[in-house]
């Protein structure tokens, strides 16, 4: 029988500026990828919006989303594969977060702020022209 031990993980997702323009959709996509890997999100926050050291898929800037989650160790490979196949996620790095307790990770949660930013970005987006 497979070992189904659950560990705490830290993941950094890199999104393009275009993807981040529709931040709510991008965050839902990250949540969906993690849910397919049986992950339970403990905390999620925007880490930074910065110029990349080198172009990735023609992009010069990117938005970093930091996520702390609990998941069975056996499912991390599936999550990484989904990230690599994703059109919205340019890069992802997942590490074990043994250095944090679950309470420390929960204190880093900024999902409310992310929702506010997603709403602001959606409000700022130009309305599609209607004929």
- Flag whether 130 is in a domain: no
Indicate the number of domains in the chain: 1
Q: What pLDDT score was predicted for residue 125?
A: 63
- Flag whether 88 is in a domain: yes
Arithmetic mean of pLDDT over the chain: 87
**pLDDT tens digits, 95-120:** 999 888 888 888 888 888 888 888 88
- Flag whether 131 is in a domain: no
- Flag whether 129 is in a domain: no
**pLDDT tens digits, 7-26:** 999 999 999 988 888 888 99
- Flag whether 1 is in a domain: no
Largest CA distance in the chain: 60
Locate all alpha helices (DSSP H) within 38-98, ordered by sequence: 76-85
**pTM for this prediction:** 0.84
CA distance 39 to 33: 9
Which CATH number covers residue 92? 3.30.70.60
Range of the domain at 33: 6-124
Please list, residue by residue across 51-64, b when 16 or more beta carbons sit within 10 angstroms of its beta carbon and e when fewer do.
eeeeeeeeeeebbb
């Amino acid at each position: 029988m497979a070992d189904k031990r659950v560990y705490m993980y830290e993941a950094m997702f890199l999104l393009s500026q275009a993807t981040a323009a529709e931040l709510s959709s991008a965050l839902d996509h990250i949540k969906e990828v993690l849910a397919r890997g049986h992950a339970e999100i403990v905390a999620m926050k925007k880490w930074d919006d910065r110029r990349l050291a080198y172009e990735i898929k023609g992009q010069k800037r990117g938005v970093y989303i930091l996520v702390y989650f609990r998941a069975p160790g056996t499912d991390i490979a599936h999550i990484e594969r989904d990230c690599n196949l994703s059109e919205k996620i340019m890069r992802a790095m997942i590490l074990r977060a043994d250095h944090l307790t679950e309470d420390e990770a929960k204190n880093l949660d900024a999902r409310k702020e992310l929702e506010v930013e997603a709403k602001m970005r959606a409000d700022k987006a130009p309305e599609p022209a209607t004929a």
